[in-house]
Structure 1
Amino acid sequence: MNPLLHAEQALIGSVLLDPGQLSHLGWLAPDHFDRPVHQALFAALRKLRADGHPALTAKVVPLSWVTDAVDEAGLHVRGLTAVYAHALIQSCPRPAHAPVYGRMVLEGAIHRSITQHAIRFHQAARADALQGQVEGALHYSDVLTGVLGDLAQRWGTEPRPVAPAAPLAIASADPPLVQAGRVAEDERFLLAVLAERPRAMDEVVGWLRPGDFADPAHGQLYRCLGALHHRGEPIDRITLLWEAQRRGFLADGSVSGDQLTAICDGVGSGSAEWLGEQVMRSSVTRTAATSARVIRTLAENEALAPGHLIKHALHALGSLDDVRTRWQTANDHPAPSPPTAAPAPPLNGPPPTRVHAALARSAPRPVSPPSARPGSAPTPAAARPPSRGHS
């Protein structure tokens, strides 16, 4: 049993039974349906309503409301017949519950849309890692942010980042194997340059962080170099070894003596700034890939409410925003302003559009006697009591 499929069928059936239900579903779009035939039918019903179909004002719903909807939808999808339309009518328990059925459809669409965009986001990050670029990952990050903002407005929740109550068990997104060796080599060369020419720390210390290193041991060694530089102490093989011991990196195995010796004995010629930019580039794509995997895991959790899903997904994108800002600093590019997700709520309450969306979705009209099938008088619309929105 597929609850989402039943919800889509019941919603189309309710509109076929009672055309007036479309006035309560203005926040729902055809592409929110999973099945193409349901997308085509809902689009056809909206078009008939926009064209002023006689069924909208008739006391008795004419059979032409169904047949015209099937004919219009048949222009965009194959295999649709009036038999299926009548099957949808039979699948609707209560036409007056259309807003609730629509909420279910929208909830499924939110999970599905975020999953699809997270997959594209992850693919772009992996492609950038292979090509030594970051533009694709950053572009899809902006696209996903805009999608989350639009979905938040449709669902009636505030688009703000909120951390999950419990951290997700997501493995780190390593760079592609064909690039892992190059990334590690760039990190070793950078550390060797910084150990050989301590003044080079001034070129990278403002924007490069230990977490930007793919190898945790390299990140710990960079942390030691940064601490010595911050205190104005000399940097050489002995002071670096001592700092690593003081921080417990040797005792817990985070850094080995052989790794430290290899760094200090390495060739220390090269541009620290250029090597730091290579490390940062890898950090951007790696962080983007990790964020995409976190968001996909969240979206595939059907038990997670859409409002929480959107907020947790925005929070997952926050880690990339920090790396992105430092990447822009390293390349002397002004950081672009973040995409506008939705207008800020006024001080005296949430936006009216958000309140309307939540009320329309979550407060069905009082249950009335079952509507008659096409050819009989539809149930008159009744006022709906106010209710609270869903998060």
Structure 2
Amino acid sequence: MSPLVTAEQAVLGAVLLDPVQLSHLEWLAPGHFSRPVHRALFAALRTLRDNGHPALAEKPVPLSWVTDAVHEASLHVRGLTSAYAHTLIQSCPRPAHAPVYGRMVLEGAIHRSITEHAVRLHQAARADALRGDVEEALHHADVLTGALDDLARRWGTEPRPVAPIAPPSALPDAPRTVRAEEVAEDERFLLAVLVEQPSAVGEVVGWLRPGDFADPAHGQLYRCLGALHHRGEPVDRITLLWEAQRRGLLADGTLSGDQLTALCGGGSSGSAEWLGERVMRSSVTRTAAASARTVRALAENDALAPGQLINHALHVLRPLDDVRARWQSANGRPAPAAKAPSPDRPPPAQVHAALARSTPGPTSPPAAQISPAPSPASVRPPSRGHG
């Protein structure tokens, strides 16, 4: 059994043994549990508490607290039995350590949630790449950023991008799609147009970067064109070849003279701005997919503390923010305004509970154990009141 499942069982066992522990777990939500039966049971325990279950005022805790919780949870999930509830009780070493067990559950939920959002972003980016679109990828990037902000506040920290000490190894990319050759063709066509129409470099140089090209060799050629344009020197296939040689691209094998001649020798006419936007669009989806893979790799590293994971993930998303801003500039769209801090931050008591998760709550008296009910008549009535 995984440590996360063990922690979830310990939290539930602690609350079944001592209902007062719920007051120390206000920052924990049913959705933070990985198993449906655990989510339903934690929600049921909160419902009983909110409805004023008699067990809250009784010592020792009556058996009705357990049976009624099982009954309430069984209305929303199948497979929960009283026997499993008693297994949960046995899984809790100390009820007073419920906040610590809750911290473990929240840690697991943060890793799991970030993984799920990263997978959705990657799927959206791949789908947009096939469609030649970017909207779904950008939408899911916003959703992931919002989720990171929410999780940071639940954990009790401020979200801020922090570079990892060692760059994470991204998960391997998916196989190249049928559009990969179309993207390469767009890049070759754009470079040919820029060589044939040097003045067109000014139409794209403000927002198109060498890193936006899928083929690194194409990106280096674009860098050479940009350098010639910046210095005000003539642009043609001869000056471009000389600039490539000056930058060592011929010596290190990045390019060959024959490749450059084949690329720029035929001459082309077309709209550099339109082609640049196509290259930019593929750059957005490619960057989104790469960011999603790296965030997922971070989230699947259980050794990363939640605060580190959230801040590293925000840092990994920065290249996508840069590409997105340039994409919007290319399309004449204003960049989105920075979001104001959310006013609905958790109450100070909840923040303190999240930050001081290791602080044990007040120790319950030894007598606070589940005691048998005196008679069946005294067991069932409470469940009718909160069924």
Structure 1 residue 359 corresponds to structure 2 residue 355: yes
Aligned partners of 2:344 and 2:66: how far apart in 1?
42
Residue 199 of structure 1 corresponds to which residue in structure 2? 199
Aligned partners of 1:354 and 1:24: how far apart in 2?
9
Give the alignment of 1:306-317 within 5 angstroms: 306-317=306-317
Aligned partners of 1:314 and 1:354: how far apart in 2?
24
Give the alignment of 1:89-168 within 5 angstroms: 89-168=89-168
Aligned partners of 2:158 and 2:110: how far apart in 1?
15
The AA in structure 1 aligned to 2:272 is A
Gapped runs of 5+ residues in structure 2?
A: 373-387
Equivalent pairs counted in the alignment come to 372
State the Cα distance separating 1:305 from its structure 2 match: 0.6
SS of 2:243's equivalent in the other structure is: helix
Aligned partners of 1:213 and 1:18: how far apart in 2?
60
The AA in structure 1 aligned to 2:11 is L
Aligned partners of 1:218 and 1:77: how far apart in 2?
56
Residue 275 of structure 1 corresponds to which residue in structure 2? 275
Counterpart contact for 1:175–1:286, Cα < 8 Å? no
The AA in structure 1 aligned to 2:288 is A
State the Cα distance separating 1:341 from its structure 2 match: 6.8
Counterpart contact for 1:110–1:306, Cα < 8 Å? yes
Aligned partners of 1:344 and 1:70: how far apart in 2?
33
The AA in structure 2 aligned to 1:212 is D
State the Cα distance separating 1:344 from its structure 2 match: 11
User: TM-score if structure 1 supplies the norm length?
Assistant: 0.91
The AA in structure 1 aligned to 2:354 is A
Give the alignment of 1:210-289 within 5 angstroms: 210-289=210-289
Residue 189 of structure 1 corresponds to which residue in structure 2? 189
State the Cα distance separating 1:37 from its structure 2 match: 0.6
1:4-58 CA-to-partner distances (Å, cap 9, x unmatched) read 1110001000000100000000000001001111000000000111111111122
SS of 2:275's equivalent in the other structure is: helix
State the Cα distance separating 1:354 from its structure 2 match: 7.2
State the Cα distance separating 1:191 from its structure 2 match: 0.2
Counterpart contact for 1:150–1:342, Cα < 8 Å? no
Aligned partners of 1:21 and 1:229: how far apart in 2?
69
Aligned partners of 1:360 and 1:156: how far apart in 2?
9
Query: Structure 1 residues 171 and 195, CA, compared in 2 at 3 Å: closer, same or farther?
Result: farther
The AA in structure 2 aligned to 1:358 is A
Aligned partners of 2:347 and 2:227: how far apart in 1?
48
SS of 2:150's equivalent in the other structure is: helix
Residue 382 of structure 2 corresponds to which residue in structure 1? none
1:244-275 CA-to-partner distances (Å, cap 9, x unmatched) read 11111111111221221122113420000000
Aligned partners of 1:218 and 1:85: how far apart in 2?
63
Aligned partners of 2:114 and 2:259: how far apart in 1?
42
Aligned partners of 2:221 and 2:314: how far apart in 1?
32
User: TM-score if structure 2 supplies the norm length?
Assistant: 0.92
The CA RMSD measured in Å over matched residues stands at: 2.1
Residue 389 of structure 1 corresponds to which residue in structure 2? none
Counterpart contact for 1:126–1:176, Cα < 8 Å? no
Structure 1 residue 375 corresponds to structure 2 residue 371: yes
1:202-245 CA-to-partner distances (Å, cap 9, x unmatched) read 11010000000000000000000000000000001111111111
Aligned partners of 1:370 and 1:257: how far apart in 2?
84
The AA in structure 2 aligned to 1:149 is D
Structure 1 residue 332 corresponds to structure 2 residue 332: yes
**Greater Cα shift, 269-278 or 167-176:** 167-176
The AA in structure 2 aligned to 1:85 is A
Query: Structure 1 residues 237 and 359, CA, compared in 2 at 3 Å: closer, same or farther?
Result: closer
Query: Structure 1 residues 342 and 319, CA, compared in 2 at 3 Å: closer, same or farther?
Result: farther
Gapped runs of 5+ residues in structure 1?
A: 377-391
